[in-house]
Structure 1
Amino acid sequence: MHRPLMRGSAALACLSLAAPAAAQDQGTPGYLGTLILTGGKRDLSYGTALSRTVVGEEEIQDRQASTVAQLIDSVPGVTLVNGTTPQGSGINIRGFGANTTFGSDQKIAVQIDGASVGSEELYRIGTQLFTDPLLYKQVEVLRGTIGSFAYGSGIGGGVVKLQTKDASDFTGGEVGFGGSQTLEYSSNGDGWATSTNLAWMPAEGVEFLLNYTLRDQGNLAAGDGTTIGNSSFRTPSWLTKGKFTFGEDGAQSLTLSYSETVADDKDVPYDQFETTANNFGRVDRRTDTSQAVVEYRYDPASDLIDLRANLSYADQTIDVDYIDGSSPFQGGQSVAAFCASPFTGVICADNRYQTTKLTVSNRALFTTGAVAHDMLAGAEVIRKERLDAASSPGGEDRRFALFVVDEMSIGQFTLTPALRYEHSRIESAVPLAGVTDDYDKDALMGGLALAYDFGNGLSVFGSAAYTEGLPIIDDLGTSATAQRRIGMTEKSQTLEIGAEYTGLDVLAAGDSLTVRGNFYQTKLWDITSYTVSGSTTTDLDHVKSEGFELEASYGMQNGVYVDLAGHVGNGREYNPDGTSSAWRISPADRVQLTLGKRWDDDLDLSWEIVHAVDRRDALGADLDDVTRHNLRATWQPDQGWLKGTAVRFGVENLADKSYVGHLSSPTRQAPGRTFKLSVSRTF
């Protein structure tokens, strides 16, 4: 497998970019009008053509996950690859994203407060999303190709958006001090975490937040009692954030944030996907990921203006010191000779990705005759730099993009065309012998979504999208393969069709039901990121990935609730000679059922059952079906001296099952039974 590029586009960048912010801030409808019904733990958005799942702060705390990837692997079509550590885990959505060789294939976009984070190809290292869950109040997963135009090109799997906490979350938007303290403990690996939030609003329109989180985990144990090697880590994280609201009626605001997560690992296997050093040897590795964001917003009392300018800088640095003699590949070579080789130099290579991005967009509401428009238009300038190394080329990728999404409502119909134009220029950091040192490429992408609201709680929707993945820095090289890849773009098209229903008093008085199902089909061709099995130079001819996703939430007036999420699908990869086989990184078929009951807001008890079939490991070997049981309890007294305190207890893998996760290395078993306890206090 080689590297990344792809994703879809379609019609819901408008809701994607604006709904979490603008729809919440202004109550502005998206597509058919976004309605949130809280049946169970997870809120479902009704009235959109976008496959969107939101993991809110309450669920983030209840799951007590040690990585963000562990939070979202419960979303239909999402697979956590090799995932028990921040450095090794990767995210795969609908068969694209992290794979069994690299932590990313560029077909998933990851953003933190608007900053684009992640790397290109890092061999046998994850780091697609290296951060701590306790820095965030919301994680949003956009699956598939619709909604991609506001985030980039070539995004076939989806978008993961993280939103950091705000001071007003703790002060209630009033002048004064607030904050929280959280302590977590996990029995497996004696893991623990502490997270402190300090918030201050010295005056109206001025707020500051400081968060410090420290997470520590020892090596985990599998269900059969064996130790899972290379599963320990220690990661300090911090977040600073300030917001200033000013102008007439508070129409203007300026938000500044900085977040960082660091891991300093000594004498660990280079290969983060495996449990031992094997042929790659051992290293001292320091991983440092940081994001800085400045956002200006101007939202006066005008339907035509809601202007945002988001300037971000993301820096991911991985410094590696190879331990002499730890790899059989070294033989009798000196460390200098071993590290200078393009073949083995990857084990010694330092990696650094710096991405600077400016996105300026405006959302306008207007009418033309009988048509109501909700238009999002914007421009984006991106500069990405990659450090040069013996094993991989360095260089600079400069991009410029324009995008527009116009959601047009005509009676009960909503029609949303979308366009994105993107131009890139890649320059090598060093001269390339016999070939040019810079490359230009551009692409025009388009999509269309159509939705119809029957007016009785039922709606249907469909979309078609086309996108292109432009070459990346990793495509630089002098070989015929490299020159072919950097001279073309990957293409993909995605079709989706589905239906939603939401209603109150459906089966009993005071109950609520939300159900959403959608079928998707994605085709990828002109492939530059995946090679024929067993080859390093022959690319696949094309890939097809399709499936059905289902999400449902039902809640009763007495506090009983049921959440359901599932995915059934398949994919095939096609070789140039016409032969085909199962798509090597397609998601497993999985269903997740949660049964729970709430007693007011004080106590919440739930039982989660996850059943997965059609599984295989990283080498393609079939794995047995597996069923896991997880229990969770949350107690939040609302009166007396304990008011503001939350106690959470959970048991994961209750039956202590011994199994290997889907697409994981056959040597890396999943964690066995784990008891988790957390205590938090807001003040």
Structure 2
Amino acid sequence: MKIKHMRRALLCSASAMTLAMTSTVAVAQDASDEDGFLGLLVLGNNKRDVQTDTATPETVINAEEIQDRQASSIAELIDSVPGVALVNSGTPTGAGINIRGHGADGTYGANQKVQIQIDGASVGSEELYRIGTQLSTDPELYREVSVIRGTVGSFEYGSGVIGGIVKLDTINASDLTEGQMGLAGRQTLSYHGNSGARISSTILGWQPTENLEFLFNYTYREQDDYTDGDGNVVANTASEVSSLLLKGKYSFGDNADQSLTLSWNESTSDEKDVPYDAFAGNSVFGNVDRLTESKTAVLEYAYNPVGNDLLDLTATLSYADQYIEQEQVSGIPFGIQDADHRYETTKLTVKNASLFQAFGVKHNLRAGVEVLRKERLNAASAPGGTDKRLAFFAVDEIDFDNGLTVTPALRYERQNIEASNDGTNIRAGQDFDNSALMGGLSTRYEFQSGFALFGSVAYTAGFPVIDDVDYTHYPILMTQTEKAVTYELGASYDRVGVFASDDTLMAKVNFWQTRLWDYTSSGSNFMDFDQQDTKGVELEASYSHASGFYVDMNANISSGHWSKFAIPTPNRYLQRYDGMPTNNLELTLGKKFNDRLDVSWEGEFYKRFEATPGFAVHNLRASYQIDTGYLKEAKLRVGVDNLFDKQYQTHLATRPAPGRNIKVSLSAAF
């Protein structure tokens, strides 16, 4: 189904939209049918809430879903979010995150168009040649993962965000102790049959007093090469990752209205005799021994005095250190295989949230300042340098108390970027200054029926990156910001008692369109086109009934193209942009029995993308809470991914996906 046809079906009127959202029947065409797409079912799931109370396209994955999915990496955990696609998966360093066609592209594993933050620290967005996300952290360390798609919700977090933001929040000790003094913990042991993955996660929370808490988390994950649906071993997919989280929090002041939180997050991936090209998994560039270390330290001060709505202050000082050590073991020397990469990011963010009333309306104003310094080691294919930034931002959520909410947002950012080493085209110490004002406006109107309409427009500017300082065209690359404007329009529905008095339906549909110009991300090829246009529609829905029955659905339909003025005629010609996620639908049907047993089926349906065939994959999940009488909780989880051992390869991947994979985990909490 083409996007324009989908638009016609979903934007008829408010009443038609409500009818579509309460429909209980869906018909799906064969995903391998090149001419058709999929009939859509808009129902929902009580595991993942749809964020219907905001105009921002955001998806939140909570701790329960993180444990249920048993994902091998953060990338695999979020690939069920509409608009998110992976450039490969299966290994921590071989996967790249792509959101709405931006981010990982198969050449680079990341860029600033998709930003990743761990407890507020900026990590894993460097453009390193044919190396993945550099996000070798383990999902077991996190209590919540949020994905904000597009630009409109990004101004508190960074500039140049076109694809989106992935926010990771680490586990707190109070999540285990539930605020009670004493020691609590959870031990999880897991096994994945396809790759022989062995996972152990140990979490301890200690609260010696009401105002003091400590957390320890150590997770070890090791796997062999996996097999695809045809039973063939996919070489170079083995991995070994260890992750450590240490965290402490001290609350003090009147009514414990102040707190200091300190955390240390460290992950190490050690790979031996693997292809330098982490994406393709072949030996064109030879093989290397690669050690990847990610370290993040965060110190946060919070002050929220009781009875003072004008003051809710947080000051966050973070340090992120990503280090990749490589040593060539085979192949023709290209000068990149022995390169060691290191980039250290120090950031201070101070912001305050104020609730007040002015001019007859309510305001929720979040404003702050951010200072960032990034230092990058000079290496072959990755020039070194220093990127210093100063930013001011403000987001004001204005509530007119009649169902209408208007949210303007502004961000001003200034950059100084300096080369640290002499290069072919640039001298050490040469620097460049850039600045930009960016912002957006979103509006949302909620009817008493639970139906809401929303829309937004957002403009952002992406600053030059250190990677571009040594291209021939550096005078342009280092002084020109990438610019993008995104328009969004959508509707949501959130109501209890739709088909029965004890059911809940939440649904959200979002149309978006982005225009990107002054493109510089392709380095020396930045002059190949004038503009990039992408557009799509994203749907999320969840339905749950008191009987325990639930349904989850999300879908993505998107497309994109490059454009350039033809010479000598002034006509514009178009070229398809192949970096977009494949049109897909995911549907889950499940049932909970007596709050102890939870069983579900999940179907993933993908449309053909040019030469990449469409496919359908079926997954099963079950969790059972064991009553031991002396443990706080004991739970057995069993999952089967790719139940029918389907042979397939996603559009952005360069290697086949895993075949049938049986996952088993046992956790015990005390």
Q: Is the 8 A contact 2:374 2:387 kept in 1?
A: yes
Counterpart position of 1:296? 301
Q: Is the 8 A contact 1:530 1:539 kept in 2?
A: no
Counterpart position of 2:501? 509
Q: Is the 8 A contact 1:180 1:196 kept in 2?
A: yes
Q: Give the match's secondary structure for 1:623.
A: coil
Given the alignment of the two structures, is residue 348 of structure 1 paired with residue 338 of structure 2, yes or no? yes
The separation in 2 between residues aligned to 1:309 and 1:608, in whole angstroms, is 42
Given the alignment of the two structures, is residue 408 of structure 1 paired with residue 389 of structure 2, yes or no? no
The separation in 2 between residues aligned to 1:50 and 1:128, in whole angstroms, is 27
Q: Give the match's secondary structure for 1:69.
A: helix
Cα deviation, 1:102-160, whole Å, max 9, x if unaligned, reads 10121011000000001421111102422101011111001111111111100000110
Counterpart position of 1:244? 250
Q: Is the 8 A contact 2:535 2:558 kept in 1?
A: yes
Amino acid at match of 1:681: A
Cα deviation, 1:29-72, whole Å, max 9, x if unaligned, reads xxxxxxxx994221222210111111111111111111111010
The separation in 2 between residues aligned to 1:537 and 1:427, in whole angstroms, is 21
Cα deviation, 1:301-351, whole Å, max 9, x if unaligned, reads 20000000000000000001112xx22xx3xxxxxxx4xxxxx22222110
Cα shift at 1:573 = 1.4
Counterpart position of 2:133? 127
Given the alignment of the two structures, is residue 221 of structure 1 paired with residue 221 of structure 2, yes or no? no
Cα shift at 1:588 = 0.6
Q: Is the 8 A contact 1:137 1:165 kept in 2?
A: yes
1:1-400 to 2 correspondence within 5 Å? 39-277=45-283, 279-301=284-306, 302-323=308-329, 326-327=330-331, 330=332, 338=333, 344-400=334-390
Q: Give the match's secondary structure for 2:137.
A: coil
Cα deviation, 1:615-674, whole Å, max 9, x if unaligned, reads 35xxxxx11110000000000135635651000000000010111122111xx1000000
The separation in 2 between residues aligned to 1:38 and 1:251, in whole angstroms, is 38
The separation in 2 between residues aligned to 1:362 and 1:642, in whole angstroms, is 41
The separation in 2 between residues aligned to 1:166 and 1:434, in whole angstroms, is 47
Cα deviation, 1:377-419, whole Å, max 9, x if unaligned, reads 0000000011012333100000000000111111221111110
Counterpart position of 1:420? 411
The farther-off stretch of 407-416 and 192-201 is 407-416
The separation in 1 between residues aligned to 2:532 and 2:491, in whole angstroms, is 26
Amino acid at match of 2:458: A
Q: Is the 8 A contact 1:270 1:281 kept in 2?
A: yes
Counterpart position of 1:34? none
Q: Is the 8 A contact 1:636 1:643 kept in 2?
A: no
Cα deviation, 1:413-443, whole Å, max 9, x if unaligned, reads 1111110000000011124566671000000
Q: Give the match's secondary structure for 2:336.
A: helix
The separation in 1 between residues aligned to 2:128 and 2:564, in whole angstroms, is 25
Q: Is the 8 A contact 1:119 1:316 kept in 2?
A: no
The separation in 1 between residues aligned to 2:637 and 2:239, in whole angstroms, is 23
Cα shift at 1:265 = 1.3
Q: Is the 8 A contact 1:528 1:539 kept in 2?
A: no
Q: Give the match's secondary structure for 2:626.
A: coil
The separation in 2 between residues aligned to 1:483 and 1:671, in whole angstroms, is 45
The farther-off stretch of 636-645 and 353-362 is 636-645
Counterpart position of 1:594? 588
1:573 aligns with one of 539, 562, 571: 562
Q: Is the 8 A contact 1:119 1:127 kept in 2?
A: yes
Cα shift at 1:171 = 0.9
The farther-off stretch of 37-46 and 385-394 is 37-46
The separation in 1 between residues aligned to 2:426 and 2:292, in whole angstroms, is 35
The separation in 1 between residues aligned to 2:62 and 2:298, in whole angstroms, is 22
The separation in 1 between residues aligned to 2:45 and 2:120, in whole angstroms, is 29
Amino acid at match of 2:151: T
Q: Is the 8 A contact 2:291 2:324 kept in 1?
A: yes
Q: How many residues align?
A: 619
Cα deviation, 1:453-485, whole Å, max 9, x if unaligned, reads 112201110000111001111121261x22221
The separation in 1 between residues aligned to 2:102 and 2:311, in whole angstroms, is 36
Cα shift at 1:530 = 3.3
Q: 1:220 to 1:576 in 2, by over 3 A?
A: farther
The separation in 2 between residues aligned to 1:430 and 1:544, in whole angstroms, is 36
Q: Is the 8 A contact 1:91 1:128 kept in 2?
A: no
The separation in 1 between residues aligned to 2:290 and 2:47, in whole angstroms, is 38
Given the alignment of the two structures, is residue 549 of structure 1 paired with residue 555 of structure 2, yes or no? no
2:636 aligns with one of 644, 647, 653: 647
Cα shift at 1:448 = 0.5
Amino acid at match of 2:553: L
Q: Give the match's secondary structure for 2:67.
A: helix
Amino acid at match of 1:251: D
The farther-off stretch of 636-645 and 515-524 is 636-645
The separation in 1 between residues aligned to 2:80 and 2:381, in whole angstroms, is 36
Counterpart position of 1:637? 626
Q: Give the match's secondary structure for 2:442.
A: strand
Q: Is the 8 A contact 1:187 1:676 kept in 2?
A: yes
Given the alignment of the two structures, is residue 606 of structure 1 paired with residue 596 of structure 2, yes or no? no
The separation in 1 between residues aligned to 2:381 and 2:65, in whole angstroms, is 41
Q: Give the match's secondary structure for 1:615.
A: coil
Given the alignment of the two structures, is residue 459 of structure 1 paired with residue 459 of structure 2, yes or no? no
Cα shift at 1:539 = 3.7
The separation in 1 between residues aligned to 2:291 and 2:46, in whole angstroms, is 40
Q: Give the match's secondary structure for 1:71.
A: helix
Identity %: 50
Cα shift at 1:584 = 1.6
Structure 2 unpaired stretches of 5+: 1-42, 567-571
Counterpart position of 1:6? none
Amino acid at match of 2:583: D
